[in-house]
Copies of this chain bind each other. A is one copy, B any other.
Amino acid sequence: MPRVYLTAAYDGTAYHGSALQAGEPQTIEAYLNRAIHGATGDETPVIGASRTDAGVHARGAVYVFDTASSIPPDRFVHVLNHLLPDDIRIIESHEVPADFHPRRCEAVKTYVYRVLNSPQPDPTRRLYTWHVPRPLDVNAMREAAATLVGEHDFTSFCNVDSTAETRVRTILRISVERSGSGALRDTHDDEIAISVTGNGFLYNMVRIIAGTLVQIGWGWRDASQMAEILSAKDRGAAGCTAPPQGLFLIGYEWITDDNGAIMVKI
């Protein structure tokens, strides 16, 4: 039975998160399962590579599912888009080996957190940015962010309700850049994009990093304090959890061995 890999983009505004929940029809996975059932008759649920909270968006979320259908795997992009609401779009689909499991394979994942840093709000970005009117010092944010690169115990940046066995994760890259609002930008750029790439993320980790960096950006804390916050291994040491609507799951890069095979987690 072929295993199909889906890359999905969604606007998380209308959903109670991505993961299937009993009795909750309004999740990304519930919609994917219903669309796959409509196309194939199959009842096997999708396996998601990760989950996002209510209001969080994705450009490159990854799902796999098994199907006995005769639909060619690369046609599911078209078939499913006819059955999905327009705030969930399949970007591409292809076959993967039957033993590919997205949560058991080595991957590098990238998130972007968008801050609208302008005195005025923008209603058309209210669902896609965190509006912080006070001017932020991007250099201080960048200096603090650099402290987080590498393998660390990220307990300070983990929601206390997390059930993760270990809080050690590796951040490979983190950048803080001023960035425009696209076609409508004026002469200056009014957004700050915090981009974080790592091998795994704890519950609310990127949002707590963003909340802490914004506190540093407005001068409430100094950039040099980031090292103490990290070594405290205490959620209370870090800043607030930034609101969900600024967070975008950008995508996955699967780690392959010398033969090009995707590596399985040990």
Give chain A's interface residues, CB within 8 Å of chain B. Answer: 9-11, 57, 59, 86-89, 91, 112, 114, 120-124, 126-129, 177, 179-185, 191-193, 248, 250
Contacts and interface: CB of A to CB of B under 8 A. Distances in A.
Contacts of A183: 112, 114, 129, 177, 179, 191-193
Contacts of A181: 182
A184 B128 CA distance: 11
A17 to B, nearest CB: 15
Contacts of A121: 9, 89
Given A184-B193, A193-B183, A250-B184, A9 B123 contact: yes
Nearest to A9: B123
Copies of this protein, total: 2
Contacts of A122: 9, 59, 89
Nearest to A181: B182
B184 A185 contact: no
A182 B114 contact: yes
B184 A123 contact: no
A89 B122 CA distance: 8
Contacts of A87: 123, 126
B124 A57 contact: yes
A54 B128 CA distance: 21
Contacts of A193: 182-184
Contacts of A127: 124
Contact of A180 (B86, B89, B182): B182
